[in-house]
A and B are shown apart, each in its own frame.
Chain A
Amino acid sequence: MIAYFKDIIGGTWSLLVGLAITINYFFKPVVTFQYPRETLPMTPRYRGHTDLIWDEEKGRDRCIVCGSCQKVCPSGCISLAGEKPEGGKGKVLTMYTLDFTKCSLCGLCVEICPTDALEFSKAYNLAGFDEKAYVFDLLKRLEAKRP
């Protein structure tokens, strides 16, 4: 008999505790993020497609056209070309295309680059109707980054 009443009172109490928790949550601010309306800054370690880094001192990219990235890429998605400017030393990058449809984001190109000319971009909301839209001209993207 005592157990019966204990059960009722204990049960009622636990129900009230539950209600207290939910009403507490009701008055707390919402934690969801309204994604297409608001965007969060992407985390620093995020791996988007690779991108050339803008070098302030040189006033262009840091690439020396050694071709290491092209060679190391397991998917063969990088193709680049460069030429020697007249009178100048070393090669200058003239073309760098990344076929993102093949890229597996392994990051070997970023790792192997002797001059740290490559980085991962933070582009995460990529969508399109045409695969050609994913053959990126990284030099053109670099121009857009020119301050």
Chain B
Amino acid sequence: MTIDWELVRLLALLLGVIMFVALNAAYLVWLERKEAGHIQRRIGPKEVGPYGLLQPVADGLKLMTKQLIVPEGADRLLFMAGPILVMVPAIMSFVTIPYSETLVARNLDVGLLAVFAFASVNVLGLLLGAWGSRNKYAVISAARVVSQNVAYEVPMLVVVVTMVMVTGTLNLQEIVTQQAGGFWHWNVFRLGVSPLMPVAFLIFFVCMLAETNRAPFDMAEAESELIAGAFTEYPGMGFGIFFMGEYANIVVGTSLATILFLGGWNSPFGLFFPGVHWFLIKMYALIFVVIWIRWTYPRTTFYALLNLSWKVLIPVSFFNLILTSAMLKVFHS
């Protein structure tokens, strides 16, 4: 009997991806609470384990031991499908994300497209779950989430199209390889191609925050107005999976930002050889910023949120697109 090593490799990496997602989702909650604590000059979790490190385990056990109640009159199928539709695409996105030259489950030629295709299912999961739970708050939240995601997908994809024009490929590994050698080769600093590159990075980052429903754009949850928005009716692990999906989406978003703009696994000064550690350092630095932003700004109003997208981000990203294509045509063709 011969062993199909490619299959073994794929299985190992898929298992690794799932474990990576679960571990990140669990410990980002810990990081979030610690960081929130210190920003408010508190300590954060400290009772369960040293530095509260076992807190996610305790939280997970608590959520798992709770009964899964489907509210009366709710659409059982959609209600159950909601959390799964949020979690599965988030895990699927990891399949094509290259963490180093060799550490990638499946290097697709259309990797970037695949990630965005999966990312757009997230909003569907929230919408179906909220609609299925037969709750007014959840439905209001779902309506907000959809219009928010539609509004922010436009500037995000325009920025991504710009990046694809610059790099000339949809292959994520290829995009990172092009940025090798020093931080001035990273896309965010390639001012010769477009002087607005840092602005493009900023737009991408803001849109990523909005796409993952993070504060200050957390209209989906909006606890002060909508109880827990789309998650209102979800008990125990149903809510837990939504929560994990949210954090998994943050990891996907920051990974993409790292790959597209910050040179992926390349080291900034040629120090300490390129590798997965550089990728993780950049990714977690971005995640730190995401959490930092959450504990700095209050939630925006819904109109301010849409205004920001349609009146600022979309015009600027289109201007960047036109400028970049003009500069590519004039200087680099």
Listed stretches A28-36, A43-51, A131-139; interface member: A28-36
Across the interface, A23 reaches (CB within 8 A) one of B40, B41, B292, namely B292
Taking CB atoms, residues of chain B closer than 8 Å to A32 are 41-43
User: Chain A: which residue is nearest B43 at the CB level?
Assistant: A30
Give the size range of B's interface with the partner. Answer: 10 to 19
Smallest distance from the beta carbon of B261 to chain A beta carbons, Å? 18
Distance from A3 Cβ to chain B, minimum over Cβ atoms (Å): 12
Q: How far does the alpha carbon of A27 sit from the alpha carbon of B312 in the complex, in Å?
A: 33
Q: Is B39 an interface residue (CB 8 A)?
A: yes
Complex interface: chain B residues within 8 A of A15 (CB):
297
User: From residue A47, how far is it (CB to closest CB) to chain B in Å?
Assistant: 29
A20 to chain B, nearest CB (A): 9
Q: B32 in the interface, Cβ–Cβ < 8 Å?
A: no
Which of B39, B43, B46, B293 is close to A26, meaning CB atoms less than 8 Å apart? B39
A25 B297 Cβ-Cβ under 8 A: no
Please report whether the interface of chain A is mostly helix, strand, loop or mixed according to DSSP.
Answer: helix
Q: Which of B35, B40, B42, B295 has the most CB of A within 10 A?
A: B40
Q: Which chain A residue has the least Cβ–Cβ distance from B289? A: A19
- With a cutoff of 8 Å between Cβ atoms, the chain B residues found around residue A8 in the complex are 312
Please report the C-alpha to C-alpha distance between residue A33 and residue B144 in the assembled complex, in whole angstroms.
40
A27 CA / B39 CA spacing, docked (Å): 8
Asked if A39 is an interface residue, CB under 8 A from chain B, the answer is: no
Cβ–Cβ contact B35 & A26, under 8 A:
yes
Known A-B contacts A8-B312, A18-B296, A19-B293; A25 and B40 likewise in contact (beta carbons under 8 Å): yes
Q: A23 vs B39: C-alpha distance in the bound complex, in angstroms?
A: 7
Chain A interface (Cβ < 8 Å from any Cβ of B): 8, 15, 18-19, 21-23, 25-32, 34
- Given A22-B292, A31-B42, 17 more A-B residue pairs with CB atoms under 8 Å apart are A8-B312, A15-B297, A18-B296, A18-B297, A19-B292, A19-B293, A21-B296, A22-B295, A23-B292, A25-B38, A25-B40, A29-B41, A30-B38, A30-B41, A30-B43, A32-B42, A32-B43
Between A and B, 25 residue pairs with Cβ closer than 8 Å are A8-B312, A15-B297, A18-B297, A21-B296, A22-B39, A22-B292, A22-B295, A23-B39, A23-B292, A25-B38, A25-B39, A25-B40, A26-B38, A26-B39, A26-B292, A28-B41, A29-B41, A30-B38, A30-B41, A30-B43, A31-B42, A32-B41, A32-B42, A34-B43, A34-B46
| In the complex, the 10 A-B pairs of residues with the closest C-beta atoms, listed nearest first | A22-B296, A31-B41, A22-B39, A32-B42, A26-B38, A26-B39, A18-B296, A30-B41, A30-B43, A19-B296
